[in-house]
Amino acid sequence: MAQAPELKLTPTPGQTIGPFYGFALPYEGGEKLVDRAHPGAVRLHGTVYDGKGVPVPDSMLEIWQADESGQVPEKPGSLLRDGYTFTGWGRQAVDNAGYFNFTTVNPGATEPGKAPFIQLVVFARGLLNRLFTRIYLPEDTEALANDPLLASLPEERRRTLIATREEDGSLRFDVRLQGEGETVFLAYPRNGEA
Amino acid sequence: MTQDESFEPEAQEAYAHLDPAATADSQDTITREIQDLHAGYAAGREKGEAEETQPRVDFAPYRSSLLRHPTKSLHHADPETIELFSPAFGQRDVSPLEADLTIQHGGEPIGERIVVSGRVLDGDGRPVRGQLVEIWQANAAGRYVHKRDQHPAPIDPNFTGVGRTITGPNGEYSFTTIKPAPYPWKNHHNAWRPAHIHFSLFGTDFTQRMITQMYFPGDPLFPLDPIYQSITDQKARDRLIATYDHSVTSHEWNTGYHWDIVLTGSNRTWMENEEEEH
């Protein structure tokens, strides 16, 4: 891949979401990208943990993903869902036990042979800047083996990015902010940092 | 792609003396820790180390960060298709009335009515058009409408402190609100946050997603605040401070502030161009 061009402007610094976002950012239906009755509905759930393995009760997560056929959604309506339009984006504040629970669909591969994943961004009180990661679907082992990001990671780190498929079809993905099993968090080109 | 730095378990033990729940530390202790970290950054700069533009996620004077920051460096990822796009928001999502935080109840909120306006740009200076901006804040007494905020300052029945808007064709946004007050918090003894408005922003790529805080010029609490000071570089800290702008002030109605926000660079355009060249 070619070198990304230099930025013209320096990005504004981020800051923590703080403790008091609950009355402002979460909204009715934010975690339901599709209705539970949707034929392809999948539960994506897990817990956010701190460096001592204690659940983080004041974290907010957002997911962003392609639809089941791998199309990138470009439709508005995430904040006032009509129950029919798949917008690809969802938001949920974790509960008092650090637990989250989205209803979505399995994303399709955006290009043939690519490993499908859901992009995740993590905010929390105590976390001074947002963290990005990917939630890979576990099934397409060949695509996972060919994925450039996963290939660049040692096995014990690689596995932090691959969701577990549970017996009922749910996807389980825990976020570990620090310490043993620490989730791999990502830096993208052109983020203005050296 | 770069490999991560090796994991250092001792990093956590080094913090063992710092109880995240402690409130007994004095402001002097916190301020000294901040100054030491900043002096270390300045010394590194003199030796040619990189300029920092973002907060450190590992910033011990902000005690809640101790167990909530990754100890490994971020892993480089080349964006894939989904990461080159962002969710779309529009008039279906947000009513134009949501940009005025002073008209959400039956009466006028108490406090100094202000307008905060500016533009959302990407790292190439291009306006971010038609995207969602969300804000939330404390009221004029320093109290949030949040059940966990137990600060004994009055709740204003005419002020919730939540606003949303969609940026215009030049990336412009404007909120009418009330100037928030500083408020106490439990990081250390006698800890006070400088007055601020939280901002949540989206770009054209989801990799540009960010949440930050806008501050007001001249706040005497700046040097004391470990959240603001987690940005070790003064030039970067200054980027979070709005400018008083008399052209935004309106006659017998509100004072005005200007604040532009720069997101990281989009990767979609250059990566698409690169594909076409091959």
Note the ipTM here: 0.97
Residues of B in contact with A61 (CB under 8 A): none
CA distance B173 to B149: 29
- The per-residue pLDDT for B5 is 35
Question: How many angstroms separate the Cα of B123 from the Cα of each of A11, A161, B126?
Answer: 6, 28, 7
* Chain centroid to CA A145: 20
Distance between CA B239 and CA B218 in Å, rounded? 13
Closest by alpha carbon to B102, among B91, B93, B110, B94? B110
For residue B194, list chain A residues with Cβ-Cβ distance below 8 A: none
* Cβ neighbours of residue A146 closer than 8 Å, sequence gap 6 or more: A113, A115
Distance to chain B for A173, nearest Cα, Å = 17
- What digits encode the pLDDT tens for the residues B174-229? 999 999 999 999 999 999 999 999 999 999 999 999 999 999 999 999 999 999 99
Backbone angles phi, psi at A90, to 5 degrees: -145, 160
A130-148 pLDDT, tens per residue?
A: 999 999 999 999 999 999 9
**Of the residues B164, B188, B193, B268, which is catalytic?**
B193
pLDDT tens-digit map of A50-87: 999 999 999 999 999 999 999 999 999 999 999 999 99
**How close A51 gets to chain B, by Cα (Å)?**
5
Residues 6+ apart with CB under 8 A from A32: A81, A90, A102, A103
pTM: 0.94
pLDDT score recorded for residue B33: 98
> In terms of Cα–Cα distance, which of A25, A43, A77 is closest to A169?
A43
The residue in chain A having the minimum alpha-carbon distance to the alpha carbon of residue B149 is A20
Residue B189, classified by CB atoms within 10 Å of its CB into exposed (0-12), middle (13-18) or buried (19+), is middle
How many angstroms separate the CA atoms of B121 and B210, rounded? Answer: 13
CB-based contact, A105 to chain B, within 8 Å = no
Tens digit of each residue's pLDDT (9 = 90 or more) over B127-183: 999 999 999 999 999 999 987 888 899 999 999 999 999 999 999 999 999 999 999
Residue ranges with strand state E in A24-80: 42-49, 59-64
Assess whether B38 carries a catalytic annotation. no
Chain A: give the shortest CA distance to residue B253, in Å: 26
Would the pLDDT of B7 be above 60? no
- The pLDDT score that the predictor gives to residue A70 is 98
Sort strands B243-244 and B255-258 into parallel, antiparallel or unpaired: antiparallel
Helix (H) or strand (E) run with residue A24 in it: none
Overall average pLDDT of the A40-52 stretch:
98
Residue that wins the pLDDT comparison between B102 and B23: B102
Active site residue B105: no
Q: Diameter of chain B by CA atoms?
A: 64
Neighbours of B116 (CB within 10 A): 25
Q: Given an 8 Å threshold on Cβ–Cβ distance, is A191 in contact with B263?
A: no
DSSP string spanning B192-240?
Answer: EEPPEEEEEE--SSGGG-EEEEEE-TT-TTGGG-TTGGGS--HHHHHTT
| Residue A55, token pair as written in the block | 């659940």
Q: How far apart are the C-alpha atoms of A87 and B103, rounded to whole Å?
A: 30
Q: Does B18 touch chain A (CB under 8 A)?
A: no
User: In Å, how far is A139's CA from the nearest CA of chain B?
Assistant: 19
Q: What is the pLDDT of residues A153-181, one digit of tens each?
A: 999 999 999 999 999 999 999 999 999 99
Rounded-to-10 torsion of CA B51, B57, B58, B63: 130
Q: Which of B62, B63, B144, B228 is the catalytic position? A: B144
Catalytic residue among B143, B196, B215, B268: B196
Catalytic status, residue B198: yes
Query: Which residues of B fall within a CB distance of 8 Å from A81?
Result: none
Interface of B with A in 106-145 (CB under 8 A): 121-125, 132, 134-136, 138, 144-145
At B4 the pLDDT is 38
Burial class (CB in 10 A: 0-12, 13-18, 19+), A67: buried
Question: Which residues of chain B are within 8 Å of residue A72 when distances are taken between CB atoms?
Answer: 81-82, 85
Q: How far apart are the first and last CA of chain B?
A: 21
CB-based contact, A109 to chain B, within 8 Å: no
d(CA A182, CA A194): 23
Distance CA A139, CA A162 (A): 10
A91 contacts A122 by C-beta, under 8 angstroms: no
The model's confidence at residue A1, banded by pLDDT at 50, 70 and 90, is: low
Query: Mapping DSSP to helix (H, G, I), strand (E, B) and coil, where does residue A17 land?
Result: coil
Of B91, B206, B263, the CB nearest to A119: B206
